[in-house]
Amino acid sequence: MTSVCAVGLGGNMGDPEAMLERAINLLRLRPELTITDQSSTWRTEPVGGRQNQNWFCNRVVLVSTDLEATPFLRLLIDIEGLLGRVRVERWGPRLIDLDLLFKDQQTFDAPELILPHPRLQERGFVLYPLEEVAPNWCHPILGLTVTEMLARLPADGPQVVRIS
């Protein structure tokens, strides 16, 4: 059965905007995926770990696919590898990061994947671009739309700026 999935893309090493485009192009080449929408690019202050790193560029794409959640995650990890991602430091600098944010209204909890993404509602760098492409998607656990989650972000949180 075909599902609508959201994929968050981010990176802050090299030319992150070009890397996001390369990742989207690789997603487009996969016959089991159809990109149905994509957000603008957003520049985001680092969160979580080290703050002394470059700001991130972030986007969200909506994808239609028949893949189940775990094979879709493996496909995203394979694309990260093709683009040169080496997992070294959690929340550290990276060439590219592809996160499966949601798959329709499904919930999923396995060691390698939790859906919806467990911190989606806390992250402006996800919610701002996600609002462009799926403002009315409703979190199946919280019962909040993307727009409602975005309105609940603290005003003094990390800066997120639309750049294109």
List, by residue number, the catalytic residues: 85, 94, 97, 99
Report CA 83 to chain centroid distance, whole Å.
16
User: In the chain, count of helices (H) and strands (E)?
Assistant: 4, 8
Distance CA 100, CA 115 (A): 8
SS3 of residue 21 by DSSP = helix
* In the block, residue with structure tokens 């149905």: 36
Closest CA to 54 of 92, 97, 5, 3: 92
Residue 128's Cβ-side half-sphere holds a number of Cα atoms within 13 Å equal to 21
Q: Which residues contact 126 (CB under 8 A, 6 or more apart)?
A: 8, 58, 60, 99, 101, 117, 120
